[in-house]
Amino acid sequence: MKNVISVKDLEEMVRQGRDVRALPDDVILTPSARDFLRDLEDGAALRPAVSASAATAPAASGKKLNSRSSKAELEAYFNSPEIHALKEKICDIGRRLWQRAYVDGNGGNIAIKVGEDIVICTPTLVSKGFMCPADICLVDLEGNQLLGTKKRTSEILMHLQMMKRQPRAVATCHCHPPHATAFAVANIAPPTCMIPEIEVMIGTVPVAEYRTPGTPEMGKLVADLCDKHNTVLMGNHGAVSWSHVDVEDAYFKMEILEAYCHTVVVASQLGVPMKTFSAQHLQDLIRIKTGLGIPDARVGLKECELCDNSEWRPGVTCKVAPQADGEAGAQLNPEAEKLVQAITEQIVGKLK
């Protein structure tokens, strides 16, 4: 597979003094990486970088804090350099969501697990494009706000239910990317076996039924899908993802999902059947995916079940290898064959 370069890779290259403009011609740049290079060309300041090891941001002392820690300990931790870096990262991702029109108004929210049962998250009623670190809140896994000058987002309950249901989740990202949300409004799961990136990084994307945003019912419907899916469409609402790596990875899933849904919508308007790759090729991608530690609900399915998109659009179906001569006949029911023959003879007789 071709080397994929993310904005994190470019930031690391800049820190090392390497020339990010001298990349090989065959590398694949993520959309945010392309934005980063464009910002460099325009002379824009570099984004603040955050170490990937800060995914769960352990306390500087090495002590794992939780909601039962003293207020003084929580305040010190909440204002520590480690947590401040994650707050900046949330603000950075919020800006990228807003710049890409994945959110509007005060929509969307982001959360990072930073302790045994404590999470930092975005505030309510604040545009994700204009947040600052001082806006970020600290809550426990029940949604009780522990620290922060602004009120936490009302949709944090969904993020927390996802984290409780999927213990590997260290970060979540929710937004309303237009093309992905169009699938959610139409109650259509995006088809599969068309582009390898989404198969490896995401996989199938189910649609959770609509419930009022911010309610436990909405959170439960989404959380119930997190065992086998890292990205979920929320009916008549938007999309949400979780990551076992860090918040950047959770955001990447939104980029990948939206780019894929956009491509599918455009391709469906070209007036020709869309070509899918084979189920065998998909199995190769799933093996790569599981090797990366990313779960996939399709592990163990038969080949003819892997690329079946017939419910999404007629004509886009599973590619099954043709049967060898004699195999098809061997599978026919002799009694059924006799019945078909008898009916055929009756019809032919009436036509004479």
Q: What is the pLDDT of residues 285-301, one digit of tens each?
A: 999 998 888 878 888 88
Which residue has tokens 């998909």? 282
Rg for the chain (alpha carbons), in Å?
Answer: 24
- How many helices and strands, by DSSP H and E, does the chain display? 13, 10
What is the per-residue pLDDT for 345? 67
Instruction: Give the pLDDT confidence score for residue 244 in this predicted structure.
Output: 94
Secondary structure E strands in 99-202: 109-113, 118-121, 137-140, 145-147, 171-175
Low-confidence residues in the chain, pLDDT < 70: 1-2, 15-17, 31, 39-63, 308-352
Q: Please, where are the H alpha helices in 292-333?
A: 303-306, 327-330
Mapped onto helix, strand or coil, the DSSP state of residue 312 is coil
Beta strands in the chain (DSSP E): 4-5, 28-29, 109-113, 118-121, 137-140, 145-147, 171-175, 207-208, 231-234, 238-243
Buried b (16+ CB within 10 A) or exposed e, 153-183: bebbbbbbbbbebbeebbbbbbbbbebbbeb
* 36 phi, psi to nearest 5 deg: -60, -45
Superfamily of domain 52-267: Class II aldolase/adducin N-terminal domain (3.40.225.10)
Q: How many angstroms separate the Cα of 247 from the Cα of each of 183, 224, 228, 255?
A: 24, 21, 19, 13
Instruction: Tell the residue number behind the tokens 């780019």, with chain if given.
Output: 259
What pLDDT does 256 receive?
98
Instruction: Give, in order, the Cα–Cα distances in Å from 151 to each of 132, 135, 137, 271, 276.
Output: 14, 9, 7, 49, 46
In DSSP terms, 119 is beta-bridged to: 113, 139
Q: Helices 31-42 & 81-99, crossing angle to 10 degrees?
A: 90
pLDDT of 314? 47
User: Where, residue-wise, is CATH 3.40.225.10 in the chain?
Assistant: 52-267
Q: Name the pTM for this structure.
A: 0.73
Q: Residue 97: which residues within 8 A CB-CB, separation 6 or more?
A: 103, 108, 128, 129, 173, 175, 251, 254
Q: What is the pLDDT of residue 296?
A: 86
pLDDT at 144: 97
User: What does residue 140 show for φ and ψ, rounded to 5 degrees?
Assistant: -95, 180
pLDDT at 242: 97
Kindly state the DSSP code that residue 130 receives in the 8-state scheme.
G
343: which residues sit within 8 A by CB, 6+ positions away?
Answer: none
Partners of 243 in the β-ladder: 171
Q: How many CB atoms lie within 10 A of CB 109?
A: 29
Q: Which structure tokens are listed for 35?
A: 């934005």
Report the C-alpha gap between 91 and 125 in whole angstroms: 14
State the CB neighbour count (10 A cutoff) for residue 63: 12
Query: So what's the pLDDT on residue 2?
Result: 53
Q: Tell me what percent of the chain is helix, strand and coil, each rounded to the nearest 5.
A: 45, 10, 45
pLDDT of residue 115: 95
Lookup: tokens for 252: 């990447």
CB 220 within 8 A of CB 226: no
